[in-house]
Amino acid sequence: MGSSTALHLIRSGYSPSNITVLDVYPIPSSQSAGFDLNKIMSIRLRNKPDLQLSMEALEMWKNDPLFKPFFHNVGMFDCSSSEEGIANLRKKHQALLDANVGMDKTNVWLESEAEILAALPCFTKEQVKGWKGLLALDGGWLAAAKAINAIGDFLKSKGVQFGFSGAGTLKEPLFAADGSTCIGVETVDGTKYYADKVVLAAGAWTPTLVDLEDQCVSKAWVFAHLHLTPDEAASYKDIPVVYDGEYGFFFEPSEDGTIKVCDEFPGFSRFKQHQPYGASHSKSISVPRSHASHPTDTYPDESEERIRKAIARFLPGLKDKRIVDRAMCWCTDTADANLLICEHPRWKNLILASGDSGHTFKLLPNIGKHVVALIEGTLQQDFVESWRWRPGGDALKSRRAAPAKDLADLSGWKHDMRL
Ligand code: FSA
């Protein structure tokens, strides 16, 4: 959300030399959830703003020269073989049709095994017995880290200022003599940056930096990588992203034959006593621990079991393959899964852009446009309403099947590096 905001400030005519981007790691930040091989692109209708936001994003992924190279429009197949899962997918299909924006042309219900095999020749008849699902032809995957990197290159070429490492890690916001007007930030190396507006777009780290009054709970999701031989990879080339809410999802192999497999589950929290800026005392906050700063961390043993189950279902021919990478990436959920994009109610000119709720990467091309609108006081009213400061509700569960389990109760993931 931060890089997208910087991009849209430039596209709106602000002078690049007046924009400063700060981050712990150089852009594309290796601890951002978006620092990934791929993320899903699909139209989701969970909350009111979702339709407009995902349609705008789709248009930019398809046509904007900066983003176009990173959209792999191979389709997304949302499938299930359980009675309840299939019924939910039928409802979802109907909701897409009811949105009345021409999605009857791009969403195809696959009822029979033969139809599924035609879309996914890598599957076997035996494997897809009883499966049904929705093929979204306008979906696919996004080369995530590469897309953020392209924004980074653009920002650099325009002369945007950067601060990384100690010069990009927030110590605290700076305030005017009134104590409530934010005039910049100080970073941990002691640098002071002054600005008319400060946008805090720190993803899953946001609730650790300023007190969000429990509006966001940061959670980790897991992924595994398999390496395929060129022959193996060839049979999965250009296939749609396959997603089954009861198992997980996977993507076609990357150019070097890496397949990413994820399981779908309510995420893992990591609660600790911690005092974010603005809190009067330390409180229980879910604090991310990134793979970038702890490269030997993996994921819990229970995830290994679930990922193996997902591999057996989706890629039975590869079920004995060695997993070459295991990692967690961090998102932050709000209670209602709407974003949290608003001015801080106590601190004028400090703008929060957070609350991704696990579904915001696809908005990389356009989300910054709305942050700029907020800065300029022109954000559309329904977004102001949905993204407002709104304590209360249960962000630990959010709109997922269950509350997140805590990593403290799980074994197998934590591997401190031996020096
Ligand atoms: O936009 C999408 O449907 C993809 S979300 C991918 C995902 O792994 C979630 O399925 C998961 O529950 C979590 O929110 C992280 O992102």
**How far is it, in rounded angstroms, from Cα 305 to Cα 412?**
12
Q: For residue 417, what is the DSSP state?
A: P
Task: Give the pLDDT of the chain (419 residues) as one tens digit per residue.
Answer: 999 999 999 999 999 999 999 999 999 999 999 999 999 999 989 999 999 999 999 999 999 999 999 999 999 999 999 999 999 999 999 999 999 999 999 999 999 999 999 999 999 999 999 999 999 999 999 999 999 999 999 999 999 999 999 999 999 999 999 999 999 999 999 999 999 999 999 999 999 999 999 999 999 999 999 999 999 999 999 999 999 999 999 999 999 999 999 999 999 999 999 999 999 999 999 999 999 999 999 999 999 999 999 999 999 999 999 999 999 999 999 999 999 999 999 999 999 999 999 999 999 999 999 999 999 999 999 999 999 999 999 999 999 999 999 999 999 999 987 76
Alpha-helix runs per DSSP H in 316-355:
none
Quote the ligand 1 centre to 292 CA distance (angstroms): 20
Q: Which of 32, 35, 38, 40 to mutate to test the pocket of ligand 1 (most atoms within 8 A of CB)?
A: 40
Q: Are strands 71-72 and 39-41 parallel, antiparallel or unpaired?
A: unpaired
**How far is it, in rounded angstroms, from Cα 263 to Cα 311?**
9
Quote the ligand 1 centre to 361 CA distance (angstroms): 9
Quote the ligand 1 centre to 260 CA distance (angstroms): 13
Q: Which of 222, 359, 400, 405 to mutate to test the pocket of ligand 1 (most atoms within 8 A of CB)?
A: 359
Q: Give the largest CA-CA distance in the chain.
A: 71
Backbone angles phi, psi at 325, to 5 degrees: -140, 140
Q: Which of 79, 221, 260, 338 to mutate to test the pocket of ligand 1 (most atoms within 8 A of CB)?
A: 221
Q: What is the ipTM of this complex?
A: 0.93
Paired tokens of 293: 């700063």
Quote the ligand 1 centre to 375 CA distance (angstroms): 28
User: Closest ligand 1 atom, CA of 359?
Assistant: 1
Quote the ligand 1 centre to 227 CA distance (angstroms): 23
Tell me what percent of the chain is helix, strand and coil, each rounded to the nearest 5.
Answer: 30, 25, 45
- Ligand 1: list residues with CB < 6 Å: 40, 42, 44, 221, 262, 264, 331, 358-359, 362
